[in-house]
Amino acid sequence: MARRRKPLPLLEKVRIESSGAKGKSVGRVDGRVVFVPFAAPGDLVDIQVFKKKSSFYEGKIVKFHEYSDQRTEPKCAHFGLCGGCKWQHMAYEHQLAFKQDQVKNSLDRIAKVPYEEILPILGGEKAYYYRNKLEFTFSNRRWLTDYDPSKEDGGPEHNNGLGFHLPGMFDKILDIEHCYLQPDPSNDIRLAIRKYALEKGLEFYNVRDWSGFLRNIIIRTSSTGDLMVIVVFRYDDLDIEDLLNDLVQQFPQISSLMYVVNEKKNDTITDQEIRLFKGDPFIMEEMKAPIAEHPALKFKIGPISFYQTNPEQAFRLYQLAFDFAEFTGEELVYDLYTGTGTIAAFIARSVKKVIGIEYVEDAVEDARENMKLNNIENTAFYSGDMAAILNEGFVEGNGKPDVVLTDPPRAGMHDKVIRQLLKMEAEKIVYVSCNPETQARDIALLHPKYDLVKVQPVDMFPQTQHVENVVLLQLRK
């Protein structure tokens, strides 16, 4: 006979101490850490544990005894279910303070190298409506909530939804009424497509058996007023033209309307034909130059091009990296993980030459196109695995850099890249990171030759736990 599992405990009157990893807050009970979402430091709560490990619990709040003075009322009706904004319940100034602490804790706990100070975090002027790109998913298995407006006589009218995946659930979609992440007309476009699909009886996708007609929509906005919409279908059908024509009539401001027929089981469209229905196959973005006398930069953004999703904070991030480098105009700069060359374009007019390296060939083609668009001629780009490309032969062929700009993915830099940086001995390394922990690890690995001189956190994603950090590393004399 199988042993009965002991019920997981209910932890009563736990004081929440801080905000921790992955947006969860932290309390302690009998020396064991408790992770719980949607809490604020200072809350006094009862927590029902749903996961028990030797050193920590995970749980959910079932009762509040005291509310933290750091709390604020969330704007979004979907807060607490949608995983997009995990910190809407905390006032923005407190979010920034915790992000500053996150950077400090990573440096002190992982890097363990001396530094003078961490400059105050650069918060966003927009705490909402700051993203220029969102992707929504169709599903015939939407999550039903207690306040679901479609419930009648105890049952829903339908199970169709268009919105975001619930955290940890690949097959459940939270039907979104209003999202506070992307500016108008993002919400109106999504709701119009959903309304049309429901009225016409179009099938929403079922990820469990890969059936249905409607799969995804992607909406991209830009500071120039351009607007791109991509609708993804599972199979070709005459209904595509009807739906897109309806969209054109309702939203004549769409400057780029495209669609994809994706018969695969995954949602990636980078390997699919993206068909133009109306307008241009791209939108234009502009960014101020780091020096006022220089012309503004223009970037052509295609359906799968990467561009920073918070463009206003992206300018401040790039300006910060530019200022840290203190260019004289004579530098050879290596721009590692250059993407579509936005940072390369940003600094090019202030240096002798920029060499960009990027893994994705399509991104490198975009980078070259962006240089032509801005009449920039002192750049060169190479595509391939960074750890394989950046070697002694590459440095011999392109010259030893005076400054290295590096903006790696969340995993940080490969050991081989670190070793090559130590061999190259560039005077300065400006390291931009979206993950302070892996950045701190890399700083420690570079410390045998480099001192940590400046540290500046930047908030690119308000209402979330994510933080960017820029550091200046100086070659030790």
d(CA 176, CA 193): 13
Residue 276's SS3 state is: strand
Report the Cα 211 to chain-centroid distance in Å: 29
Q: Buried b / exposed e across 437-446, counting CB within 10 Å, b at 16+?
A: bbbbbbbbbb
User: What would the two tokens of residue 5 be?
Assistant: 């599992």
User: Tokens 């960009």 label which residue?
Assistant: 356
Tell me the C-alpha distance between 104 and 467, whole Å.
Answer: 12
Q: For residue 465, which of 64, 127, 87, 101 has the smallest C-alpha distance?
A: 87
- Other C-beta atoms within 10 Å of 51: how many? 10
Of the candidates 458, 379, 444, 380, the one whose C-alpha atom is nearest the C-alpha of residue 413 is 444
With contact defined as beta carbons under 8 Å apart, do 128 and 166 qualify?
no
**Per-residue tokens: 156:** 């829903």
Query: CA 24, 443, 360: angle at the middle one, nearest 5?
Result: 80
* C-alpha to C-alpha distance for 304 and 301, rounded to whole angstroms: 8
Whether residue 247 contacts residue 229, with contact meaning beta carbons closer than 8 Å, is answered with yes
Residue 204 DSSP one-character state: B
Could you tell me which of 390, 333, 332 has the C-alpha nearest to residue 359?
Answer: 390
d(CA 377, CA 369): 11
Q: Which whole-number Å values give the CA distances from 409 to 318, 406, 413, in the listed order?
A: 16, 10, 8
Dihedral (Cα; 39, 40, 42, 45), 10-degree rounding: -10
Hey, CA dihedral for 436, 315, 189, 150, is it positive or negative? positive
Q: What stretches of 251-360 show up as alpha helix (H) in DSSP?
A: 311-325, 342-348
**Rounded to an integer, what distance in angstroms lies between the CA atom of residue 296 and that of residue 373?**
11
Known catalytic residue at 82:
no
Q: Which of 76, 82, 179, 434 is catalytic?
A: 434
Residues marked active site are found at 434
